[in-house]
């Protein structure tokens, strides 16, 4: 059984995530990562394994924007270290 996540999305990343969700030009993957980041603001939620995989792949690729990389890094930092 995993312990609750003690990390949370920083206020600056939460703000960025909120703006991303409201941006009609943001990519679908950026919005997906933004939603995940916002779900981890002061709630103890933890990144799921499918989202971890997607975020890791996005970080490893140079085809994604700095914004997408920032959001991916944030949600990866809140993943289950045992996976």
Nearest to 77 by CA among 43, 52, 49: 52
pTM of the full structure: 0.85
Question: How confident is the model at residue 1, as a pLDDT?
Answer: 45
CB neighbourhood size of 65 (10 A) = 13
Q: What is the pLDDT along the chain (83 residues), one digit of tens a residue?
A: 455 557 889 999 999 999 999 999 999 999 999 999 999 987 778 888 999 999 999 999 999 999 999 999 999 988 766 65
Question: How confident is the model at residue 5, as a pLDDT?
Answer: 59
Distance CA 66, CA 72 (A): 10
DSSP for 46-62, written as a single string: -B-HHHHHHHHHHHH-T
């Amino acid at each position: 059984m995993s312990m609750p996540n003690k990390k949370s999305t920083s206020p600056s990343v939460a703000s960025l995530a909120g703006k991303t969700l409201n941006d009609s030009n943001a990519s679908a993957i950026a919005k997906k990562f933004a939603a995940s980041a916002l779900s981890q603001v002061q709630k103890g939620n933890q990144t799921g394994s499918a989202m971890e995989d997607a975020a890791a792949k996005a970080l490893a690729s140079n085809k994604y924007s700095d914004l997408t990389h920032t959001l991916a890094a944030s949600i990866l930092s809140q993943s289950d270290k045992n996976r």
